[in-house]
Chains A and B, each alone.
Chain A
Amino acid sequence: MPDPLPAARPAAPAGSSGDGESIRVIVIDGEEGTREGVRRALEERGFAVRTASDVALGLRLMRESCAEVALVDVSLPPVDGLSPTECITQRCDGRTVVVITSALPSVETAVQVTRHGAFDFLIKPFSTAELVRVVERAGHQSRLVRERERYLSELAGERNLSHQLITSMHEGVVVFNIRRALVLMNPRAEHFLGTHFREGMSLPELFPDLDTAAAIEAVIDSAPARPECRLVQRSLGDGRMQVSISPLLLDGEAGGAIVILSDVTESWKAEQDKNRFVSMVAHELKSPLSAIINYINVIQSGMFDDTMPKIHEMLDRCRVRGEALLDLVRDLLYINSREVGKVERSIESVDLKTVIAGQLDFFRVQADKRRISLSLEAPLAAYPLKADRGDLDRIFMNLISNGIKYNRDKGVLAVRMADKGAAWEIAVSDTGIGLSDAERASIFQEFYRVKNQKTAGIAGTGLGLATVRRVLTAYNGRISVSSQPDAGSTFTVTLPKE
Chain B
Amino acid sequence: MARLLIVDDDTDLLEGQKLFLQKKGYEVQTALTIEDGLAKAKETTPDLIIADLMMEHYDSGFVFCKRVRELPGLGKVPILMQTAAPRKVGFTFETGASPGREWMKVDEVLTKPVPLEHLLGKIEQYLSAKARHA
Contact = CB atoms under 8 A, between A and B. Distances in A.
B16 interface: yes
Contacts of A321: 12
B32 A289 contact: no
Interface string A260-303: 00000000000000000001001100111111111101100101
A439 to B, nearest CB: 10
26 contacts: A279-B89, A282-B86, A286-B84, A286-B112, A287-B112, A290-B13, A290-B84, A290-B114, A294-B17, A297-B16, A297-B115, A297-B116, A298-B19, A303-B23, A304-B19, A304-B23, A310-B19, A314-B15, A314-B16, A317-B15, A321-B12, A451-B55, A451-B56, A452-B32, A452-B33, A453-B32
A290 B86 contact: no
A283 B10 CA distance: 12
Contacts of B84: 282-283, 286-287, 290
Interface string B74-111: 00000000001110010000000000000000000000
Interface in B1-32: 9-13, 15-17, 19-20, 23, 32
Interface string A312-325: 00100100010000
B72 interface: no
A286 B33 contact: no
A292 B33 CA distance: 21
Interface residues of A, number: 27
A457 interface: yes
Interface of B is mostly: loop
Given A283-B84, A290-B84, A303-B23, A298 B112 contact: no
B54 interface: yes
B11 A456 contact: yes
Given A290-B84, A290-B112, A457-B11, A451 B33 contact: yes
B99 to A, nearest CB: 24
Nearest to A285: B84
Contact of A294 (B54, B86, B116): B116
Contact of B13 (A294, A303, A304, A310): A294
Given A279-B89, A282-B86, A283-B85, A289 B16 contact: no
Tell which of A279, A298, A303, A304 has the most Cβ of chain B within 10 Å: A298
A303 B33 CA distance: 28
Interface in A150-202: none
Contacts of A453: 32-33, 36
Contacts, number: 78
Contact of B16 (A279, A283, A287, A295): A295
A223 B33 CA distance: 61
Contacts of A282: 84, 86
B85 A297 contact: no
Contact of B12 (A310, A317, A452): A317
B32 A294 contact: no
Given A304-B23, A456-B32, 13 more contacts: A292-B12, A293-B113, A294-B113, A297-B116, A298-B16, A301-B20, A301-B23, A304-B19, A310-B19, A321-B12, A451-B55, A451-B56, A457-B11
Interface in A397-441: none
A208 to B, nearest CB: 26
Contact of B113 (A283, A289, A303, A304): A289
Q: Closest 6 interchain pairs by CB? A: A286-B84, A294-B16, A290-B113, A291-B12, A290-B112, A303-B23
A287 B23 CA distance: 23
Given A290-B13, A294-B17, A298-B116, A283 B33 contact: no
Contact of B86 (A279, A304, A317, A451): A279
B20 to A, nearest CB: 5
A291 B16 contact: yes
A453 B112 CA distance: 22
Nearest to B36: A453
A297 B117 CA distance: 9
A346 B106 CA distance: 53
B10 to A, nearest CB: 5
Contacts of B85: 279, 283
A293 to B, nearest CB: 4
B4 to A, nearest CB: 15
Nearest to B20: A298
Contacts of B23: 301, 303-304
Given A291-B12, A294-B17, A452-B32, A301 B116 contact: yes
Contacts of B11: 456-457
Contacts of A289: 113
B91 to A, nearest CB: 11
Nearest to B88: A279
A374 B10 CA distance: 30
Contacts of A294: 12-13, 16-17, 20, 113, 116
Contacts of A287: 10, 13, 84, 112
A451 B32 contact: yes
Contacts of B20: 294, 297-298, 301, 303
Contacts of B12: 288, 291-292, 294-295, 317, 321, 457
Contacts of A295: 12, 15-16
Nearest to A283: B84
Nearest to B56: A451
